Copies of this chain bind each other. A is one copy, B any other.
Amino acid sequence: MDSSVEPFKARRLYLLLRERIASGELPSGTRLPGEPGLAAEHGVSRMTVRRALDLLAEEGLLRRQPGSGTFVRETGMEQAVCADLADVFSHLKEMGRRTTVRLLQFGYVAPTEAVARALGLATAERAQRSVRIRLLEGAPFSWLTTHVPERIGQTYTEADLAATPLLSLLERSGIVPARARQTIGATLAGPDVAEALEVQIGAPLLSLVRVVEDDGGHGVEHLHALYRPDRFSFTMDLLRTGTPEARRWSPIPTAQAPARPAPAASSSPQHRKPPQ
């Protein structure tokens, strides 16, 4: 076993080590354990360890110093964009960076039960479904699947959606978006998403589900978004408030968030659009 390369174990180990470097858990200058140590820790062969380290070295994340070991390099890794939890767009604007959207799919479908329930659709009622990816300076960072009740979807065309934010199209049709609930989780990249977001199959992704309701409490948009965590993360500032007997944390909006957590220094204007 120790002389064989196990390609999928090697890719898994590569992904795990890459994550630890990206997260700062293995900062630059860290000396990695030797190949036997890594092999034992991960239950793989030494050849597999070597293959994973080769991939990381090719990416410029590791530096091998003959005789002294393998070290994490000062990385050329991209810094993640941090977005205030209630907003992404205006954030990116503030940062003077430009995002673009590419519409991949547009059509009418029978939605899943979860989407139909969230939107309050009648049995057999269809939904306008679209898939878009969002890019920051040409680099894709999010995969967005939206569902809108068919009667609302009929008020815009594929060309409209390729050019205009969905929320603007909803407002154009007379809808008053009033509230939203969003839930944040994590998942793995499947084949289609991996290809579009330029990650490996099985790479970790942030996921967000947002359901938007109009002023009458009717569901008007269901968004399922997937984000590359190395290019995008959510950030949130909290203030300790309340009485000495009952202290609480209250969120405050972030004006500008660096890519890594750092001592927070500023309050900021009110929230804007939710993330897409």
Shortest A265–chain B CB gap in Å is 8
Say if the beta carbon of A188 comes within 8 Å of chain B: yes
Interchain CB contact under 8 A, B181 and A236: yes
Chain B residues in 8 Å Cβ range of A186: 186-187, 204-207, 227, 229
How far is B177's CA from A185's CA once the two chains are assembled, in angstroms? 28
**A249 lies within 8 A of B263 (CB):** no
Interface mask (A9-46 → B, CB under 8 Å = 1, otherwise 0): 10010011001100111011110000000000111000
| A113 CB, nearest partner CB in chain B, Å | 5
CB <8 Å contact, B180 and A237: yes
**Bound-complex Cα distance A229 to B82 (A):** 20
Measured CB to CB, the closest approach of chain B to A200, in angstroms, equals 10
* Residue of A25, A176, A251 with most chain B CB atoms under a 10 A cut-off: A251
Contact B270 A183 (CB under 8 A): no
Q: Which residues of B contact A86 (CB under 8 A)?
A: 236, 238, 249-251
How far, in angstroms, from A262 to B210 measured CA to CA in the complex?
9
**Which residues of B are found within 8 Å of A204, using beta-carbon distances?**
186-188, 204-205
Give me 5 A-to-B residue pairs in the complex whose CB atoms sit less than 8 angstroms apart, sorted by A's number: A27-B112, A179-B238, A179-B264, A180-B238, A206-B206
In the A-B complex, the 4 residue pairs with the smallest Cβ-Cβ separation, listed nearest first, are A8-B8, A186-B186, A24-B114, A185-B229
A7-B8, A8-B12 are known; give 5 further A-B pairs, CB within 8 A. Answer: A6-B8, A27-B112, A41-B191, A118-B260, A185-B234
Identify the A interface with B (CB < 8 A).
Answer: 6-9, 12, 15-16, 19-20, 23-25, 27-30, 41-43, 80, 82, 85-87, 112-114, 117-118, 120, 176-188, 190-191, 201-207, 209-211, 213, 217, 219, 224, 227, 229, 233-242, 247-251, 254, 257, 260-264, 270-274
